[in-house]
Amino acid sequence: MSKQRAKRRQRRRARAAARAPATAATASAAERARRREELPAAPRRPSRLEVRDGVLRPDAIWAPFPLTEIGMAAGIVVFLAGFATGGARGGWLLTIGVVMLAVTVAELCLREHVAGFRSHSLLLALLAVTVVHTGVVLLVTRGWHGPLVLAIDLAVAGGVAWWLRGRFRAAQERARRRTLSAP
C-alpha cells in the first residue's frame, strides 16, 4: 500500500470518528456510571482457593474483618521477637507467640473441617492430645512421660483422627448437597 493511500485512509477514519456519536471511551464519567448501573453485574467465578471439591470455603463469623490473619501476623511477630530477645523474657515471648499461632491455626482448621471444605483430622487430633497431655503434666503430675505415654498419646490421637475423618466426610456430603440444591 502506498503512502498516499495510507494517508487518505487515515483521514477518512479521522473524519468518520469526528462525525460519530460519543462512544464509551469519550463519554462522560457520569454517563459511564449510569450505564454500569443499568447492566447487571456478571457473576464472579470463585477461585480455586475458594472452592474445593465443590464446597465453598467457610467465612468466619467476624468476616470480612481479617481477625485470623491479624492473629497469625501478630503471633509471628511475637515469636520472632522472642527468638531475637533470648533469655527468660525471650522464652516467654516465644511461648506467647506459639500459643497465639496455635489458637489462630486451630480456629481456621476447625472452621474448614466442620464446614467440609478441607480435612484437618490429623492436625486437630494431635492438637487436642497435645493440649490434654500438657494439662496433665502441668496440673496433675510431672511424671507423665516415657515411651508408654507416647504410645498412649499416639493411639488416642489416631482414634480421634479416625472419628474426625468421619465427621468431615459427613460435613462434606452435606455441603455438596447444599451446593447442588442452591439456585
User: DSSP letters of 44-80?
Assistant: PPPPTTTEETTEEPPPPTTTTS-HHHHHHHHHHHHHH
CB 101 within 8 A of CB 69: no
C-alpha cell at 180: 447442588
C-alpha cell at 108: 481456621
Range from 13-22, 53-62, 94-103, 152-161 carrying the lowest mean pLDDT:
13-22
Residue 134 Cα distances to 24, 71, 89, 95, 138, angstroms: 66, 23, 21, 13, 6
Average pLDDT over residues 133-137: 92
Query: How far does Cα 35 stand from its chain's mean position?
Result: 35
pLDDT band at 4 (very low <50, low <70, confident <90, very high): confident
pLDDT band at 21 (very low <50, low <70, confident <90, very high): low
Task: Measure the CA–CA gap between 103 and 46, rounded to whole angstroms.
Answer: 28
163 three-class SS: helix
